[in-house]
Structure 1
Amino acid sequence: MSRRPRRYAGPALLLTMAVAIGGMSLAITATWRGSQDDQARHRTGADLRVADPPENPELGVFGRGGVFAALPGVTAISPAYRSTTRIAGLEATMIALDADKLGGLMRLRGDLSDDGLPAMAARLRAGRPELPMVPLTGDRLELEVTVTADPALYPEIPLTFTLADALGVWREVSAGPLTPGVNRVVLDVGALRGRTGSAGGAGGVGGVGGVGSAGGAVALRGMAFAMPVPGHGGEVRVTVAGLPLPEGTGWAHAIQRPGRLGGERLTAGADGFELLLPRPQEAEGAGDPQPVVLTLAGEGERVPASMADPGDKRAPLPVIVSRDLATAMKAGPGQVTLVELERRVTAVRIAGIVDSLPTGEAGRPAVLLDLPTAQARAQAWATALKPVTEWWASTRDGDTAPALAALREHPQWSATAVDLPGLRTTLRDDPLASGLQGALTLGFVAALAFAALGFLVNAAVAARERSNEFAILRALGVSFRQVFGLLAIEQTFIIGLSMVAGLALAGVVGGLVVPTIVLTGQASAVTPAVLLEIPWPATLAMAGAVTLLLFAIVAALARTLRKQGLGQALRIGEER
């Protein structure tokens, strides 16, 4: 070969290009398929995601979770809240899930965060206060509330209760208004179960265990009195009877929002409590009502973490944020910072940073909260609770077909679902990806055909030109096997060099090009970012198949040479 380098350069180049095209084709196919799987997991967030109206008349507020948890094949489920909010001056997607179930539900690609999802979920869970609750017996709560106040100054006092079911759905229920004198308050949650819904099963309410956790389906978390603030008010005394507390729990209380009320005192009893509100500061006119919030807490816990001021850095709200949002907040993992969250200055602790949060919109910052923590703080701060807008579920072996079939059988539930296998199939049917992969496959077949033809022609011409050389070697006693071995070694060098160069070229070009040509069906960049995948077993199998084909050509030529007699080849001048 050293005497005829140009003769072997052409076939080697053709083989190199054919192997490179074949390797590129396999890499693009594997990368595109892997990206489609990543996109499907990122867009669904879980095996199954079900959305339904928060005020579902068919299933009811407290019936939805039990129905969806009982879908065939569902192994775990969490309520979820989704909205758009401004945080750190940016428009961001807010998602809230139960941190206890996050690790088993969310499909987050490992490279999107420096920390694993279980570690981030544990830090997210660390900010959750204890959530003791009072279970409702028979879905009813009957109280006797006595209001001692001047009827002219305090004609009505609105009262709301905060309830939660076993799966973590929280809801405010109005019961009132209260008037001066004795009020009989009856709270019946049967209507909140819907026509066919059933409440979540027994267990820790809101997904939380611990001191005083209710074991029933629906339980009382707290209550709030919207106290009027007249210009020249008086003392108000509210006595509640018929509300015994679980052992080890008590009432924490606070007056929320700035105003002229203050100095409230609460005295607990065996069957309820007494709340005393001193005369408010005098003013020329009436002020806005101020909520007096009562929250169940551990016994002796005067102000739990959930009732601390939102801007108190000693009780920050743990959050997982996207990387662009963390940059805007100028905060890193574990740091506490003050940001504007839902129009309130809030102290937050960065529990984790991800490049992109599953189910978030591409290019939009996102923040993830622990739903029970967010609900407890909203109740304690007298702000609106977060309605459950969707349900995230994991299914047995990732099979969502039985659950989807059950949802289709009940259109009256008004539920829509996105499932991982279905979205994966939709993405794999993308004509853009299929067309490109088909074109590359045809290109590889064409390049291999040209390379094989060139190799065959070159080997045939070279063998004919060297027939005299081979005849002389055989005449000198060299066996045919030795001649064939010499020919095989030469061709092995050409084939091996071409294979190595082709695979190296495929790897280099693939790393530079493949991630940039994998696009969505709308020819836009994909989320999450593309990871190059080179299927080495398939690539090496392809290279091995090409090698066998070429050696078959060499063997056929050697067989042809063997059939030629020595006499013809040794006649002097015969080839001239």
Structure 2
Amino acid sequence: MRLALLILLVATVFGGLGLCAFSLGDGGVRHAMETASPQAVDVKVAGVVNAENFATFDRIVREQAIWALGGEPRHMTTLLRSDGYAMPGQENVRYRPPERLRFDSFDGFQQHARLVSGSWPRSRTEPIEATISQAAASYTGLKTGQVFTTVGRIDAKPVKVRITGVFVPEDPRGPRWADDPMFGPGVQRDGYTTYGPLMVNQATFLDHFATTVDATWTITPDLRGLSLGRLREAATRLAGLRERFQASGCPDCAPFSALPETLARQEAGASAARWTVLSLTAALALALVLLPSPGQRKPHPGTAVLVACCAIVAPFAARPLFILAGALPWWPASGLRPPPPGLDAGSLLPAMAMGLLAAVLLLVEVKVPRPGTAAIAAVVAVTAAVVAAGGAATWRTSQVDQATHLTGAELRLTGPAAGGEPDVLGRGTAFAALPGVTAAVAGHRDRTDVDLRRSTLLGIDADHLADVMRLGSGLSDRSVTQMAAAMAAGRPRIGALPLPGTPRTLTVETVAPAGPPRLRVVLSDALGVWHHLPVAPLSEGTTKADVDLAGLAGPGSKIAYPLAVRGFLADSIDDSPHVVTVTALRADGREVALPEDQRWSEGAQDGTGLFSLKVNAAVAVVRPVPVDASPDRPLPIVLTPELATSAKLSTGETGFLALGRQRVQVQLAGVVEHMPGIPLDEPGALVDLPSLQAWNLALARPPLPATDWWLAGDVSGVRAAVAGSGWDVTVIDPRNLMAVPPGLLPEALALVLVTGFGLLLGASAGSRGRAWWSAGGLVLGLVLGTGLCNAVVPWLVSSWQGGTLALDVVPGLL
């Protein structure tokens, strides 16, 4: 009975290892592909369509996508984007680039946004119906129920539009809208200033906006149940999809998909993991052979039947062991997971064979005529166990490092540029009050060209950067604290008109001509968030306009007082020159004036009042500035290496850099190999947010919205608190960014670890009183295992990731 149990145990262990190893083939790759993110497997097709050919092109794309993927997709959506349409009142502007509107149509858009007011648009109404994002509405002043006429900038055809509602997107900067730089902020500046998008139904779009416009089809394949062979066929067919489009009559249709690359990466990672498991299993088998005999010299007649039965049962007996391990409290904390359900023949038969082999090895008498056999077995077993433990720890450490790097902080929250709950000036107080949060710092994120390279621009207050940003070791020759100090030291003196107390209304008294320009006030709160509000309506002559401040927090949230006025912006909808004079400012009826050490950048034209804005063909700006303000200083900036090389700058040097379309003098405050908070393969730039806001406002641009909030502290309870709040907020959590290892690799490493030390105990029991042999084997095994961890485990972990770009892998045991 004792021998039977021993045989079953050994067969179960090796059968389980065989199950793990060979599940890393077809089954593991299929499971990884089925659970991959849509961005990793989606097929995108870009084309140019009009109302006449859209139906034909749409049919061709759908038919060829079904052919390439080998079946009906899980989801398929179409995004249509219009050309520019003139802002109402700017149809005849000649002396400056007019502002424009853009109309979009997206299938099922309503499922990914929430209405702030009004209703969703209907199809083919007169006037046509559209909804607008809260961010775009804040720039354009368009409101629910408003009717206006716009004119196409290309075909000059008028379109009458009614705004039926204002919406807030669920994740304006998520992967769904990654290709649309205007969707989150509501505005795009690239020679023209374009607002939007205004969303209409597809039928409406085709009737009124489908001149010659961009179309994007997104196809999410249904990979459930597909064999690895069919997955490879789909990847191969996708490579020839463009030629199929051309032959079918859609020459401009250009397909793009990460599916072939994802599949190749998963196969490479699974193959590396499979050979790792097989190598460790071979080491355990060697240790088993070197162990002293179990003691039975003459096989019992029923031994053969027992061995065969054990080999058959072993893989099935191993699976409950995995599930039992998965129920232990330490398992989720380690980042491991229970295996996927089901056993396939591709992994089951080899697992049985390995169980059979192990059972036979146990019964075979292996005599090595020298002492130390047990010690050698102990060395091999412990070495394998240490390598397995090192591999698991290193994978976990590597994934934590990368996930933390992509988050950039302990936790990051994103939301719409304007509107939503909490609203713009209420987010800081709401987020800082979340459980465990010790710091909540506003940040701005934008996709823009930096020296003609598409990059991510981050703006964070340098005074609080070190509180929240997490920078991996070895990524920069300067610490976050040192870079923050350099950025703060280069910050210009920025003027502000403080508003005393906790005002709910700002009254702006103006004198304006007939056909007055639009006027906006720029405010900031105590947490460094800048926002602009329209001062409306202005009329000819003297006007007292009240700006509502109380609503800026949103329901249930509080403004981070004190507030400060950072400036005023004015522009005109026509080419006529205008002068608007602001004669007084009052906060809750109390008149406010600049501190003595500041002045307005523009004085009043006739010597009366506070200041005047001269509006002609461009936006005018007036700002509070210190009386003894120093000349313009270089903008301190941190760059990734490719951008620093392009600008020919080294740390501490001053030079010029193109940010978007603006040439800027900068001083390099540091170089970071990979910028925290953005994907590893993207170039990035980091700027002190107050400096960036001041530079932006001096160019007469609206303030940059706080798109991100970077959190520090014990943030374990933040996700649950945000989920129960009903806020329009997306949580960027490192736990959700960690990749899972291939197939049953974690279970295999855990089994090798336990089995290795089990064989050590077996070696100790078989040493016949010479415990020092097994003790020496333990020490030597630990030394050899640690050495192998340093030498090969980082390479193995990189291989398990399929060669994807990653931070440097450091052995997790050391």
TM-score interval w.r.t. the shorter chain? 0.5 to 0.7
Q: Deviations over 1:67-99 (max 9, x none)?
A: 222222222111122221221232212222222
Kept after mapping to 1: 8 A contact 2:510/2:580:
no
Whole-angstrom CA distance in 2 between matches of 1:131 and 1:146: 27
Whole-angstrom CA distance in 2 between matches of 1:227 and 1:253: 20
| Aligned match of 1:162 | 522
Asked whether 1:441 is paired with 2:757, we answer no
| Aligned match of 2:531 | 171
Asked whether 1:530 is paired with 2:809, we answer yes
* CA positional deviation for 1:229: 9.1
Kept after mapping to 1: 8 A contact 2:567/2:622:
yes
Of residues 593, 596, 603, the one that matches 1:248 is: 596
| Aligned match of 1:414 | 728
| Aligned match of 2:471 | 108
* CA positional deviation for 1:374: 1.3
Kept after mapping to 2: 8 A contact 1:25/1:444:
no
Whole-angstrom CA distance in 1 between matches of 2:371 and 2:530: 77
Kept after mapping to 1: 8 A contact 2:537/2:545:
no
- SS, match of residue 100 in structure 1: coil
Unaligned runs of 5+ in 1: 203-215, 255-263, 278-286, 309-314, 461-483, 536-576
* CA positional deviation for 1:223: 0.8
- SS, match of residue 434 in structure 2: coil
Seen in structure 2, the aligned counterparts of structure 1 residues 178 and 185 have a Cα distance that, compared at 3 Å, is same
Letter in 1 for 2:622: L
Q: After the TM superposition, which residues 207-222 of structure 1 pair with which residues of structure 2 at under 5 Å, given as runs?
A: 216=562, 218-222=563-567
Seen in structure 2, the aligned counterparts of structure 1 residues 62 and 501 have a Cα distance that, compared at 3 Å, is same
Q: After the TM superposition, which residues 239-388 of structure 1 pair with which residues of structure 2 at under 5 Å, given as runs?
A: 240-242=583-585, 244-253=592-601, 272-275=609-612, 289-301=617-629, 308=632, 315-388=633-706
Seen in structure 2, the aligned counterparts of structure 1 residues 123 and 528 have a Cα distance that, compared at 3 Å, is same
- SS, match of residue 290 in structure 1: coil
Whole-angstrom CA distance in 2 between matches of 1:504 and 1:47: 35
- SS, match of residue 404 in structure 1: helix
Whole-angstrom CA distance in 2 between matches of 1:327 and 1:514: 33
Whole-angstrom CA distance in 1 between matches of 2:606 and 2:378: 89
Q: Deviations over 1:466-485 (max 9, x none)?
A: xxxxxxxxxxxxxxxxxx9x
* CA positional deviation for 1:36: 3.0
Kept after mapping to 2: 8 A contact 1:14/1:450:
no
User: How many aligned residue pairs are there?
Assistant: 440
Q: TM-score, normalised by structure 1?
A: 0.67
Q: Which moved more, 1:168-177 or 1:178-187?
A: 178-187
- SS, match of residue 459 in structure 2: strand
Kept after mapping to 2: 8 A contact 1:17/1:447:
no
* CA positional deviation for 1:221: 0.8
Kept after mapping to 2: 8 A contact 1:124/1:370:
yes
Q: Which has the larger radius of gyration?
A: 1
Letter in 2 for 1:298: P
Q: Deviations over 1:7-45 (max 9, x none)?
A: 468666544433322332232233223223323322332
| Aligned match of 2:398 | 35
Asked whether 1:51 is paired with 2:414, we answer yes
Of residues 556, 563, 576, the one that matches 1:196 is: 556
* CA positional deviation for 1:515: 1.0
- SS, match of residue 63 in structure 1: helix
Letter in 1 for 2:566: R
Q: Deviations over 1:324-352 (max 9, x none)?
A: 43333332211222221122112222212
Seen in structure 2, the aligned counterparts of structure 1 residues 236 and 25 have a Cα distance that, compared at 3 Å, is closer
* CA positional deviation for 1:451: 5.6
Kept after mapping to 2: 8 A contact 1:48/1:417:
yes
* CA positional deviation for 1:128: 2.4
Seen in structure 2, the aligned counterparts of structure 1 residues 252 and 126 have a Cα distance that, compared at 3 Å, is farther
Seen in structure 2, the aligned counterparts of structure 1 residues 267 and 252 have a Cα distance that, compared at 3 Å, is farther
Kept after mapping to 2: 8 A contact 1:41/1:107:
yes
Seen in structure 2, the aligned counterparts of structure 1 residues 440 and 366 have a Cα distance that, compared at 3 Å, is farther
Q: Which moved more, 1:77-86 or 1:18-27?
A: 18-27
Fraction of identical pairs, as percent: 29
Letter in 1 for 2:747: G
Q: Deviations over 1:485-526 (max 9, x none)?
A: xx88xx66x964x56654454344322321122259864546
* CA positional deviation for 1:237: 7.3
Kept after mapping to 1: 8 A contact 2:508/2:545:
yes
* CA positional deviation for 1:126: 2.1
Whole-angstrom CA distance in 2 between matches of 1:328 and 1:73: 42
Unaligned runs of 5+ in 2: 1-367, 586-590
RMSD value, Cα: 3.6
Letter in 1 for 2:533: V
Q: TM-score, normalised by structure 2?
A: 0.49
- SS, match of residue 62 in structure 1: helix
Seen in structure 2, the aligned counterparts of structure 1 residues 429 and 133 have a Cα distance that, compared at 3 Å, is same
Kept after mapping to 2: 8 A contact 1:518/1:526:
no
Q: Deviations over 1:271-305 (max 9, x none)?
A: x424486xxxxxxxxx962233211122343xx66
* CA positional deviation for 1:59: 2.4
Kept after mapping to 2: 8 A contact 1:267/1:273:
no
Asked whether 1:133 is paired with 2:449, we answer no
| Aligned match of 1:187 | 547
Asked whether 1:400 is paired with 2:716, we answer yes
Whole-angstrom CA distance in 2 between matches of 1:98 and 1:331: 23
Kept after mapping to 1: 8 A contact 2:505/2:548:
yes
Seen in structure 2, the aligned counterparts of structure 1 residues 329 and 433 have a Cα distance that, compared at 3 Å, is farther
- SS, match of residue 191 in structure 1: helix
Whole-angstrom CA distance in 2 between matches of 1:296 and 1:449: 78
- SS, match of residue 617 in structure 2: strand
* CA positional deviation for 1:450: 7.7
